[in-house]
Amino acid sequence: MRARVYFFMLPVVAWAALFSWSQLELEKQESFYERYSLPLMALWLMLCWAGLLPRWMPFRWVEQGIFWGSATLMVLNVYYNLLAIAREGLWGSSVWLAIIFVMAYFVFEPRLAWRVSLGLFLAFLLAGFLALAPQVAQGVKLDGNGLVQLYVSQLSYLVLFRVLVFSKEHGLRAQLEAAHLHHLAHTDPLTGVANRRSILKSLEEALLRHQQTAEPLCLVLLDLDRFKQINDCYGHEVGDRVLVQATRVLQQNLRPGDQLGRWGGEEFMLLLPNTSLAEAEELCARLQPLLAQHDHLPPVSASFGVAAALPGDNPRSLIARADSAMYASKQAGGNQVKVAS
């Protein structure tokens, strides 16, 4: 995004610098800076712009070049303006000084940008001292109000930008923390899928849609067979890996819109909106051999119970029918798909 901004803005700023230069009466300009700083700056910006074209130069270098070139120009602007302030007053270009503080927060991370901005403000103060001290020593009458306005306004911009960025950072941290807490509250920490609370809430919402639209809705409960034996024989660490692998298999074979949640222990819930009973049964039959395909883990199978939502169903009644069907699969020896009547 920054590269695009620079790509379109650099030619505009370079043209503005050349236009301002064309309006000057060069013969009246006393210093080299006043005569040639604007075309040199335009040339520098166009060289940086050329660095963006084929990307033959790292973007970081280009951006640093833009920033430090602009910063140098701003410091020189303060020096030469204050050198001539008794005759010419503050130049109109002084309104551009604060832009360097904005650019700092584009180029650097916030804390470094704050330090760089402070350093540039100190450079403004030093340039002013070097320009004004000889004049004060000679008794030249200076525009004190203009000087105060110049420095206080830049200091105000400097502090304001820092406060704005700090507030933005604080708000972003609060959002990230809230998102993290929401993730912890709704996600199973081991498998990364929805936890019992989250999948139950999704079921309530899906049932409400089902009642409003009459689109089919199926619920599947599946339980990994003989999982306690895996834990007892291989240890809980292997058992955890089995759960993670089973979750991955289930996730990879669901459609967009289907939802997977860990119901508890080795039990999972599949929420299948807009799915008929036959389609849900077919999905479970397809998942059976896939669950058993573990390269370095003990063999795994699962007992499936499938139930379709009926008019007047609530989460408890639908889950009870799917649970009964799953229990029937277990009673039949496991690795079965049973459909609730």
Q: Which residue numbers are catalytic?
A: 266
User: With helix as H, strand as E and coil as C, how does the chain read?
Assistant: CHHHHHHHHHHHHHHHHHHHHHCCCHHHCCCHHHHHHHHHHHHHHHHHHHHHCCCCCCHHHHHHHHHHHHHHHHHHHHHHHHHCHHHHCCCHHHHHCCHHHHHHHHHCCHHHHHHHHHHHHHHHHHHHHHHHHHHHHCCCCCCHHHHHHHHHHHHHHHHHHHHHHHHHHHHHHHHHHHHHHHHHHHECCCCCCECHHHHHHHHHHHHHHHHHHCCCEEEEEEEECCHHHHHHHHCHHHHHHHHHHHHHHHHHCCCCCCEEEEEECCEEEEEEECCCHHHHHHHHHHHHHHHCCCCCCCCCCEEEEEEECCCCCCHHHHHHHHHHHHHHHHHCCCCCEEECC
